[in-house]
Amino acid sequence: MNATRTIAASTLREMRREIAADSILFGEQLLAETGLKETAGFSDLFMATCGDSADSPGRYQLGLEYIFEGFLLHFGRNRLLKPDENNFYLLAGDYMYARGISAIAGLEDLVCVRELAELIQLCSFIHGEKRDPALALSAWAVTTLRLAARSSGFGHEAPASSGLSEIIWGGDSDASGLDAVYEKSLAAFPEEKRAELRQRCSDINANFLTEA
């Protein structure tokens, strides 16, 4: 299993160790390490995109997965905590967001912090308005691709805005607009790499759009 473990799964185990050491309260709510699923996540997409070309890739991995876990907790699913009926997930989600932003802030990458903060806002809006969860995962994919492109040097000509805010805040129900942003994000990379990146996005969608 270790030979095929995803980056996200390994990162979740590192997160579990950090959380257990940081907080008794949260530590008591954690699943046993043996209970954690082997799952794809956005750290897999990030690393498939930029690999060792990113500075401090481990911190990016932690930041992305902490923030994604925060989103999943607010959305009502998660990968690290035991089932809960006392609204603990809402508190835990905010905690994960804070840890993720802190990890990224340690890189002094203000563009990354800004884009992830915007992503958190967009996902909160999508969830609060009970819109299609696929919209949030598409926003995650676009943001991760943009950050990875910038870190790897492919995104030096990327526009200042992803265009996600205009589509999501505007309530545009036409998927073609979001598809166009996604395709533009993929276009920053060599053509021979795009098929792998599409597959990574599909793997993530398969994990989080088909689970009950």
Is residue 40 within 8 Å of residue 64, measured between CB atoms? no
State how many domains the chain has: 1
Measured distance CA(59)–CA(36) in Å, rounded? 21
**Model confidence pLDDT, tens digit, residues 57-114:** 788 899 999 999 999 998 878 899 998 767 788 899 999 999 999 998 888 888 888 8
* The pLDDT value given to residue 203: 87
**Model confidence pLDDT, tens digit, residues 157-190:** 555 666 677 777 766 545 567 788 888 889 888 8
